[in-house]
Amino acid sequence: MENLRDEWIAFLRRIADPVLDALGKRELKRSMPVEAKEPERTVCTHMEAFGRLLTGIAPWLELPADDSPEGRLRTEYAEKVRRAIASAVDPGSSDYLWSTEALPHPQFLVDTAFFAHGLLRAPNELIAKLDARTRHLTADLFRRSRVITPCANNWLLFSAMVETALGKLGEWSDLMRIDYALRQHEQWFKGDGIYGDGPRFAWDYYNSFVIQPMLLDVMEQNAARFSDGSSRFETIRSRMRRYAVILERMIAPDGTYPVIGRSIAYRCGAFQALAQTVLRGDLPETLSPAAVRGAMTAVIRRTLSAPGTFDSSGWLRIGLCGHQPGLGENYISTGSLYLASAAFLPLGLPPGNAFWSAPAEKWTSVRVWAGEDFPADHAMQV
């Protein structure tokens, strides 16, 4: 399945190149167009693009170096990303993305957390290889995000993720912020693998955009700090495995999926939780890696190949299938769209992994709607 992997890498590079190339030259703020309904989004949209791109590309960078064409390409991109980080966190940079101008904006916390998540996903290639000054500046901006009080919803996980990354950087991290986010989401669990985004349930993809990927990684990174950490982690893990089953079943034979809920313009990022379950090698027995590969490839093609998806300079535009600005909420801007990169987490698996190497298989909706007999689905209450 080498050609299919190459196709995924080509899509990821198409998303990443404008952001990384501009940041490397310290020209992101000058060159990135800003499509937004709210003019105030200009303050944070460049930070959004970088933080969200990093959370998706990081696992690919983390693969061990090798002398294959892809291995050499990964080495090149890891260096690009480290240069981009240095540019983004340097107060003397024209592309300083965490300036004091941005700090009062609540979005500062959100995309500090996505940046933090990206670092956690590549501890060897990113965290360990940051120079001392960049590492210090990164920790400093993480600490500065503490002045922002998160909303009583998935935003609690942004604070928890920042604290978790501080710990990974060897800094003091606030366990109370972490524990509060974990306990509140336990309170908001609705059943059958789904959490509320706060006390109430809303039909959207926030369990995949934010909640379950961050919840799992925050709990896993901090499990040893709690007497019951292992059991809490296993509960979160089992719920995410069930949610992965639900997401796979939502992918239609043509790669479409229900256009429901807010932030739909994050495109294929709606399947981050499924992608992360693949990356962890933790798919339930009912899901074949090859079938999931086919389903996710169909989604990526459907959401990133439509005419109008990218502008003439290669920047993403608001929409789900092409350019559809009406699908963007007031908080959506050009930078927001780069959460689409989260669909590419399986590139963090080596080419020989079954996800990439196993013969093609049909995914659930293809088989069922072709008339095949198939086992019934059942809810899981944990």
- Tell me the mean pLDDT in the region 293-320: 98
Q: What is the pLDDT of residue 104?
A: 67
What is the rounded average pLDDT of the residues 242-261? 98
Could you tell me what percent of the chain has a pLDDT over 70? 98
38 pLDDT band (50/70/90 cuts)? confident
* Residue 45's pLDDT band (cuts 50, 70, 90): very high
User: Which pLDDT value is given to residue 40?
Assistant: 78
Name the amino acid, one letter, at 282: D
For the entire predicted model, the pTM comes to 0.97
Residue 382 has pLDDT above 80, yes or no: no
Written as six digits, the tokens of 213 are: 């990927």
At 101 the pLDDT is: 64
Q: Which two tokens stand for residue 98?
A: 């965490």
**Residue 140 three-state SS:** helix
One-letter-per-residue 3-state SS of 336-351? HHHHHHHHHHHHHCCC
Render pLDDT for 161-199 as a digit per residue (tens, 0 to 9): 999 999 999 999 999 999 999 999 999 999 999 999 999
Q: Do 356 and 4 meet the contact criterion of CB atoms below 8 Å apart?
A: yes
The neighbouring-strand residues paired with 333 are 36
pLDDT band with cut points at 50, 70 and 90 for residue 345: very high
Q: pLDDT band for 214, please (50, 70, 90 cuts).
A: very high
How does residue 99 score in pLDDT terms, banded at 50, 70 and 90? confident
Rounded CA gap, 310 and 122, in Å?
Answer: 27
What is the distance between the alpha carbons of residues 45 and 313, in angstroms, rounded to a whole number?
17
Say if CB 290 and CB 355 are below 8 A apart: yes
As a whole number, the mean pLDDT across the chain is 96
**DSSP secondary structure, 2-24, as one string:** HHHHHHHHHHHHHHHHHHHHHHH
Confidence class for position 43, pLDDT limits 50, 70, 90: confident
pLDDT of residue 145: 93
